[in-house]
Amino acid sequence: MLQCNVSTIPIRAASLISLLFLSACSQAPTSPTAGGDASAQTQAFNASVASGLNLSNPQAFSDAERGFIAAPSGQVTDAEGKVIWDFDAFAFVKGDAPDTVNPSLWRQALLNNRIGLFKVTDRIWQLRGFDLANITLIEGNTGWIVVDTLTSKETAAAAMAFAREHLGDKPVSAVIFTHSHADHFGGALGVISAEEVAERGVPVIAPVGFMEEATSENVLMGVAMVRRSAYMYGSRLPRNAKGLVDTGLGKAVAYGSVGLLAPTIVVDQPVQELVVDGLRFAFHNVPGSEAPAEFTFAVPELKAYNGAEMLGHTLHNIYTLRGAKVRDALKWANYIDQSLAHVEGADVVFNQHHWPVWGEENIRDFIEKQRDTYRYIHDQTVRQMNAGLNASEIAENLQLPKALNDHLSARGYYGTVRHNVKGVYQHYLGWFDAHPANLNAQPPLEAARGYVALAGGMQPMLAAAQQAFDSGDYRWAAELLKHAVYAEPENQAAKELLARSLEQMGYMAESAPWRNFYLTGALELRDGPPEKGHSIAMMRDLLMQTPIERFLERMAASLDGPAAGDTVMTINLVFSDLGEGHVLHIENGVLHHRKGPPAADANATLTLTKPFFIDMMTGSAGAASLLTSDQVRIEGSTIDLGRFFGLIEKAPGTFPIVTR
């Protein structure tokens, strides 16, 4: 796994930027505390899942293997020899489900373990299992039309090399980004360089809004979101039957070098046809479905339709557990409904996660079940909202009808009915359930101390939790123990019993993100949170494409408002290579910024280049460089400049989640 290297910069003015964008370390612990066994109640629950669903479903396994050409092995490493991807890490995922994994999730893990190069149909291939998402290759008249480029440069380069080994050494004739999530564009520079794109005039095609969304996502809330994503994707968990087995979308996330290519063609119409390397594509914009900027497309000549990530072999997220803006379930269902017209005449639907679907009857059933699952969740949540139920009550009682519940391609391997219900509720009514007691409820720590006192102290609380655990009521045990650990975060008995409770719920979870959250919570109760945050040096190529305004928005949101309450100060930032300046002004505990010429009355002016600015943010440039580099000039008060940076709060990305 990726190692965590944080450069130490001796003065606070320089260390601000290097630490400002740190996020939760994705490094798996070298020797995590071993997990426990599945309890009798957990084994019984998982057995009931196995008997209640037709998990054999040979069609899915046949489809996941159809067109197989070759599978990779070994590891993908970066330039320094660090392992970015291990093709053999999930070799244990085979045979029947172990007691410690929900059998339905195990089936999804087995299907996602069908990795390698696959022929989809004439002139279309996919590389699956090289990262979280798929690379799709479409043979144009002169070369490869590459659809999506994985998360990292290293895995994308490995995938392309593997494809050329088996299909021939053709050049890249076009790049298509289906949407604005990093696992679909981050490996772009492993597919083709920006220089080659420019020299050969290679088209790079993306949906409208792609660059804005691709460069802004995770910047403002990056520390919190990536810390939480370590829970969601199980990046600290060992790869075994008591740890990470899958993510629901694919095996894992590759933590390598993240870059971006700027689009040369933007699809900005609802339906837009383009000829790409001799093939006619019909693009359909679906913004606000699974991503803010996204399109699907048909290739009529090949009788093929690409559903991007709007479609897949799982119920997706209306609300994603790592944290993001809530998606619109109704809009998503309507886009899927519209796609039924787009697939007319198609022999295959292939998406950017999972395996394709072949045959008109199978395609329609696949799409209709996906559409109706999102629509049912939306409509029935709204119905019960209007009847006065709150989000938790609806999540507890809403059940899909049998026809949808039994359709395994719409099961909750990634999103779940329960947390998507809460996403729909949040979309319309927000956080407040209308109960007056919740207008100004006590924060968790104070409430926890009150509950422990009400129970008669810690020992009665632990005794009640132990009784719940022994009876298999792990939800109630975890509820009691959450308060116990908050009240006494160093109480080892409370922490261990909570870890065991979360562990059993993880072993029962059908959703991979739920399992990963539970098991990561258990791991951190035993071993603690990561010791260091994770440097974003691997994102340098992406950051170079990010507008300066995004970083200044983040800086403003990191200002220590109470400390800056009486401060009035103006700082000029001048980017000599961009020919642009930004004026930063603190007043009333707020940092304002505007693009424009330097302010004449500024306390200090810092002139620098964008590459040096990025080096400062990633920790590559330290205090000495700030003072001596020929890319930097400081005018005015260096003391005030230091005071300014000293008001910006660092966020190391190691905050506790299961303790406080």
CATH topology of domain 537-646: Nonspecific Lipid-transfer Protein; Chain A (3.30.1050)
Residue type for 509, please? Answer: A
**What's the CA gap between 303 and 122, in Å, rounded?**
9
* Architecture per CATH, 442-527: Alpha Horseshoe (1.25)
**What's the CA gap between 479 and 471, in Å, rounded?**
15
What is the pTM (predicted TM-score) of this model?
0.93
3-class SS of residue 468: helix
Q: What percent of the chain has pLDDT over 90?
A: 84
Residue type for 343, please? Answer: V
**What residues contact 405, with CB distance under 8 A and at least 6 apart?**
399
User: Which residues sit opposite 463 in a β-bridge?
Assistant: none
Q: Give the residue range(s) of CATH 3.60.15.30 domains in the chain.
A: 58-426
3-class SS of residue 285: strand
The pLDDT-based confidence of 607 (bands split at 50, 70, 90) is: very high
Q: Which helix (H) or strand (E) holds 624?
A: helix 623-628
Specify the higher pLDDT residue, 384 or 642. 384
Pair of tokens at residue 649: 């709060």
Kindly report the CATH class assigned to 58-426: alpha beta
Question: What is residue 252's predicted lDDT score, i.e. its pLDDT?
Answer: 97
Give the residue from 381, 364, 369 showing the smallest Cα distance to 408. 369
Q: HEC string of 355-405? A: CCEECHHHHHHHHHHHHHHHHHHHHHHHHHHHCCCCHHHHHHHCCCCHHHH
Across all residues in the chain, what is the average pLDDT?
A: 92
28-52 pLDDT, tens per residue?
445 677 789 999 999 999 999 999 9
477 close to 512: Cβ distance less than 8 angstroms: no
535-583 pLDDT, tens per residue?
677 888 888 999 999 999 989 999 999 999 999 999 999 999 999 999 9
Question: What is residue 1's predicted lDDT score, i.e. its pLDDT?
Answer: 28
CA distances for 637 relative to 571, 641, 642, angstroms: 10, 6, 9
Q: Any alpha helices (H) in 123-172, and if so which ranges?
A: 153-167
192-232 pLDDT, tens per residue?
999 999 999 999 999 999 999 998 876 777 788 889 999 99
Question: What is residue 218's predicted lDDT score, i.e. its pLDDT?
Answer: 65
CA distances for 244 relative to 61, 110, 155, 237, 532, angstroms: 21, 13, 20, 6, 22
Pair of tokens at residue 138: 């479409």
19 close to 652: Cβ distance less than 8 angstroms: yes
- pLDDT > 70? residue 97: yes
- pLDDT > 80? residue 476: yes
Pair of tokens at residue 194: 């920006």
- pLDDT > 80? residue 470: yes
Count CB-CB contacts under 10 A for residue 492.
10
CA distances for 538 relative to 152, 153, 645, angstroms: 9, 10, 24
Pair of tokens at residue 102: 């929900």
39 close to 115: Cβ distance less than 8 angstroms: no
As a dihedral over the C-alpha atoms of residue 644, residue 649, residue 650, residue 655, rounded to 10 degrees, the angle is 180
Residue 651 backbone phi and psi in degrees, to 5:
-130, 95
Q: Give the residue range(s) of CATH 3.30.1050.10 domains in the chain.
A: 537-646
Question: What is residue 517's predicted lDDT score, i.e. its pLDDT?
Answer: 98
Q: What percent of the chain has pLDDT over 70?
A: 94
Query: How far out from the chain centre does Cα 584 lie?
Result: 32
Residue type for 612, please? Answer: F
Q: Give the residue range(s) of CATH 1.25.40.880 domains in the chain.
A: 442-527
Question: What is residue 584's predicted lDDT score, i.e. its pLDDT?
Answer: 98
Give the residue from 240, 253, 254, 255 showing the smallest Cα distance to 32. 240
